[in-house]
């Protein structure tokens, strides 16, 4: 990480941090979608149940993009953030606003 990047991270507001994390999670979701789509296309022909029928009739039953997107949009993707980390981020944001 370059010095300018480190300064940018240190002076980032909580709002900006959350916006960047939201964008990062969306980008990761798109990567996950591509991986699942590739797996779907590679395995659709040979993937069958005991009766010889396809295990997944639709891609959405294999990977629910809309559900994962909704989790990100509603903040469920943030459930692993501990309360003390949120408090520390709020304190840091306040210090940034005051210029301290």
Instruction: Give the whole-angstrom CA distance, residue 30 versus residue 35.
Output: 9
b/e sequence 45-70, b meaning 16+ C-beta within 10 Å: eeeeeeeeeeeeeeeeebbeeeebbe
* The pLDDT of residue 7: 73
**Side-chain half-sphere CA neighbours of 19 within 13 A:** 6
DSSP E strand stretches across 1-100: none
Look up residue 35 and give its two tokens: 């991986």
* The pLDDT of residue 46: 63
Specify the pTM.
Answer: 0.49
Tens-level pLDDT at each residue, the chain (100 residues)? 456 776 777 788 888 888 888 999 999 999 999 999 888 788 775 677 788 787 777 888 778 899 988 888 887 655 566 666 666 666 666 666 665 5
């Amino acid at each position: 990480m370059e010095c300018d990047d480190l300064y940018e991270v240190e002076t980032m507001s909580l709002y900006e941090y959350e916006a960047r994390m939201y964008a990062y999670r969306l980008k990761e979701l798109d990567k996950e979608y591509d991986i699942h789509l590739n797996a779907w296309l590679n395995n659709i022909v040979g993937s069958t149940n005991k009766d010889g029928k396809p295990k997944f009739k639709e891609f959405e039953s294999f990977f629910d993009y809309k559900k994962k997107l909704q989790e990100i949009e509603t903040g469920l993707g943030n459930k692993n953030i501990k309360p003390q980390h949120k408090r520390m981020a709020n304190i840091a944001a306040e210090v940034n606003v005051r210029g301290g």
